Structure 1
């Protein structure tokens, strides 16, 4: 409660710390994985991954068929739970490699637009760090932006490109974890704010340079994450192979007799 209240006070009075004291997730030890975990939980991605992981529970069911007479109900439930968490972890690590922040909530989108419209973007990453920091103050459970460069890339993708295409189809998410979307520019004052922000952005002489810098992943995934994900997938494949062999052997009457002795 105190953290949330402090953030509200900072936002209310428009207080912004000195440039070198901004703290974004990218500045913290293990900040990248903590950031991903926060987004994964708050936006309910874990529910989606849990649902997709559920069919993989057919794999441990093969073990249960093979050893069911020697296992208790608790043992069976634990095996199923471990496998569910195992495949959810694979899903989480895979999700981090493709994550992009899209369809910001309305208050976050508005805060970013106000920041871009009023900022001196010639300061480069410092200006975008300020904008990201102020937008992050709107949330207490997690931080929407990992870094200033991510904030810039999201702004370009979600705002600048639609405006350049003369569509002004800028959507916002009604709430984290929900699929309902709204058209931000339906409100005339919002459309004016968008125009101000894009005009100020285009005045920046480094626009072409920043576009060139935006190639690649929005938040580069550590190589260690990819290594762990690949190892987990490898072990899952090995388990499937072993289980298929065991199921094939199960039809041998002699093996079945020995298994139940």
Structure 2
């Protein structure tokens, strides 16, 4: 009995030593890493170029509202020498530009919580979940996320898939556990740019998924807790929620400015129309 106990202790020490030697690198470990996780794809994939072009287009198109207003005003009033700045007002265009650009940028940041995972990377994730000691290792999901990130980079993906261990865990619950719970078995991934929706129908993939799910089920008391975990995504309520709150507040104030400008324009137009009608009625010969 003592020999078996000594061997178990040695195995445990080796396991702990192996975990200690493994370096876990995740974007959540530093503020710079978090900013890089969110902003690197936006900058290096040149998404900002299309957002700038779209925002400028919206800003210029919005100026046609002012052009229509000045045209109607000139029709009912004395002709007025229309200047370019009257139509393409800098303040008006800046408001519309930042409104559109902020919305596009916030939408990109918010969509970073949705991981587009390749088939090979998903297989790597499921293999790690199936083989990892989820109950005994307190950093299990951090290790899984770090290993999957490194593997995805080796396969050609330039950016980290998961920001943290919680992000990885909630992705697994949301995209793997919940479809199986709901019996839809709609496990989505990508292969060479096209969506693969029959991941579960492939026998080796199905067996790997079942192994990962069986190992995960050891960490929970019942399937009810799985559903609760799938719905309560702390990662969404954490880092992403902070960005969401910032941009939501910014958009709120920009919309208020937009509505205020629109109401002023409408009131000015209505007052002008009423004034013209009153003056014309007095000018009509009796």
The reply to whether TM is greater than 0.5 is yes
| Residues 31 and 62 of structure 1, relative CA distance in 2, 3 Å threshold | farther
Question: Once the 2 structures are TM-superposed, how far is the Cα of residue 87 of structure 1 from its aligned partner?
Answer: 1.8
Question: Once the 2 structures are TM-superposed, how far is the Cα of residue 127 of structure 1 from its aligned partner?
Answer: 0.9
1:168 aligns with 2:185: yes
Aligned with residue 235 of structure 1, among 222, 230, 254: 254
Indicate the residue corresponding to 1:59 in structure 2.
62
Aligned with residue 27 of structure 1, among 3, 21, 29: 29
Contact 1:136 1:145 in 2 (8 A): yes
Indicate the residue corresponding to 2:121 in structure 1.
108
Query: How far apart in 2 are the matches of 1:77 and 1:147?
Result: 43
Q: Which has the higher contact order (CA 8 A, sep 6+)?
A: 1
Contact 1:19 1:126 in 2 (8 A): no
Contact 2:130 2:211 in 1 (8 A): yes
Aligned with residue 265 of structure 2, among 225, 246, 250: 246
- The unaligned stretches of length 5 or more in structure 1 are 1-15, 254-261
Query: How far apart in 2 are the matches of 1:167 and 1:104?
Result: 19
Count of aligned residue pairs for this structure pair: 235
| Residues 159 and 194 of structure 1, relative CA distance in 2, 3 Å threshold | same
- The unaligned stretches of length 5 or more in structure 2 are 1-17, 71-80, 274-286
| Residues 196 and 54 of structure 1, relative CA distance in 2, 3 Å threshold | farther
What's the CA shift string for 1:105-141, capped at 9, x where partnerless? 2122111101111111114551111111111121342
What's the CA shift string for 1:64-115, capped at 9, x where partnerless? 6669723499x78997588445423234335645764255321221111011
Question: Once the 2 structures are TM-superposed, how far is the Cα of residue 153 of structure 1 from its aligned partner?
Answer: 1.0
Query: How far apart in 2 are the matches of 1:28 and 1:136?
Result: 16
Contact 2:24 2:146 in 1 (8 A): yes
Indicate the residue corresponding to 2:74 in structure 1.
none
1:89 match: secondary structure:
helix
Indicate the residue corresponding to 2:106 in structure 1.
93
Higher Cα radius of gyration: 2
CA RMSD of aligned residues (A): 4.4
Question: Once the 2 structures are TM-superposed, how far is the Cα of residue 35 of structure 1 from its aligned partner?
Answer: 2.2
User: How high is the TM-score relative to the length of structure 2?
Assistant: 0.62
What's the CA shift string for 1:5-35, capped at 9, x where partnerless? xxxxxxxxxxx98478412111111544432
